[in-house]
Amino acid sequence: SGATLVTGVAGSGKSLVLLFRACTQARLAPTTRSLALTHNRALKTELEARFGELGRPPNVVWHTFYSW
């Protein structure tokens, strides 16, 4: 429960962790909601597209920090 901050150097897999964690959380707890925040629109768009390839559960919302 609560927020999780994932940090690391460039290329360490942070975005991949976010993508698969959001998908796993959405499937394991379909009554909960998840908010995935990124720093830029390009990353948000890319992750959202890849999330769609994994089935796009409706209880996950993608935003940038500034649009949230």
pLDDT above 70 for 1: no
Is the whole model's pTM more than 0.75, yes or no?
A: no
Q: What is the pLDDT of residues 13-53, one digit of tens each?
A: 888 888 888 888 888 888 888 888 888 888 888 888 887 77
Angle formed at CA 60 by CA 6 and CA 53, multiple of 5 degrees = 90
CA 53/CA 3 separation, integer angstroms: 25
Q: How much is the average pLDDT of 51-64?
A: 78
pLDDT above 80 for 54: no
Per-residue DSSP letter, 52: H
